Amino acid sequence: MIQHDCIIICYPGGAGGSFLQGAINSSLDRSSLIINQNLGHCHANKISTANFVSGDSLASFEQELMSIKTLTLSLSQVLAHHYRNMIALQHQGIEQNVPTWFIKINVDPASDAEVEFASQMLYRKTTRLENLSQLYHQIRHESWPPTVEEYLKFDPEGNAFLDTVRHSLKSWYWVENHYTQERTINLSLKDIFLDSDLATKLSPWFEPSFVEKFKKSHEIYIETNRRLHPDLYHLIQND
């Protein structure tokens, strides 16, 4: 079964990749899923050593490639990060003799509603200062103050921050080919935040016992985010 190989979840910020990683591992009895009941995120489940900014600059391309080159892959591993270059990830797997498979969460860059939903989800779920500080360091422009505390003094609503996130989503791209596409499950924002049948879409890669466990985790995640962010759900329900 593919669940015994290496599965890499690739997704833009705000698209629910940390939940997917945590829910898969939990459904395989590898760890417990932790859903933050105040913000709705699953960042406590995230297992990743990657450190790069998903942007459209040359520096961003180089940072992602360097991060992938230093990535250690293993069997029965589920990774999740803002990777876009699945060709490089596959080559890393070949170099280490580890079969790699991909799950993509797509945010439609042409849909203002989807971009706004993911942008707001990312921003709202990083409102705790320590989380926002880490994210700020990753996306900070040269003209911005060195710390998030100073930044929020001149932009308390975080408008420039949100604009940066929106730009990242609108300029998002994937680096893939025929071979990686054959090893990829494609998901949408609606699959993560609305569709209760997500477990069935993932089921070909997993043992039958996986499906019921995943369904329960997914239902709790959707209910939690509907409760915390009801004003955002109309964006993707009506899109």
**Cα–Cα dist 189/187, whole Å:** 7
What pLDDT does residue 110 have? Answer: 94
Q: Under 8 Å CB-to-CB from 2, ≥6 apart: which residues?
A: 101, 204, 205, 206
pLDDT digits (tens, 9 = 90+) for 176-198: 999 999 999 999 999 999 977 89
Q: How far is CA 52 from CA 19, 64, 216, in A?
A: 20, 6, 33
**Cα–Cα dist 66/57, whole Å:** 14
* Rounded average pLDDT over 98-112: 97
pLDDT digits (tens, 9 = 90+) for 193-224: 997 789 999 999 999 999 999 999 999 999 99
Percent of the chain with pLDDT over 90: 63
Secondary structure in 3-state letters for 38-95? CCCCCHHHCCCCCCCCCCCCHHHHHHHHHHHHCCCCCCCEEEEECCCEHHHHHHHHHH
What pLDDT does residue 168 have? Answer: 87
pLDDT digits (tens, 9 = 90+) for 52-89: 667 777 777 888 899 999 999 999 999 999 999 999 99
CATH code where residue 22 lies? 3.40.50
- Asked which of 99-103, 151-155, 223-227 is least confident by mean pLDDT, the reply is 151-155
Residue 105 belongs to domain spanning: 2-237
pLDDT digits (tens, 9 = 90+) for 139-168: 777 788 888 888 888 887 778 778 888 988
Number of structural domains (the chain) is: 1
Q: What type of residue is 14? A: G
* Rounded average pLDDT over 3-32: 94
SS3 106: strand
Q: Quick one: which of 136, 185, 178 has its CA closest to 161?
A: 136
Determine the angle formed by the axes of helices 159-170 and 129-139, rounding to 10 degrees.
60
Q: Quick one: which of 185, 182, 3, 187 has its CA closest to 78?
A: 3
- Asked which of 22-26, 34-38, 130-134, 143-147 is least confident by mean pLDDT, the reply is 130-134
- pTM metric for this prediction: 0.90
What strand order describes the sheet that includes 6-10?
Answer: 77-81, 6-10, 100-106, 184-188
Most confident range (mean pLDDT) of 28-37, 44-53, 86-95, 150-159 is 86-95
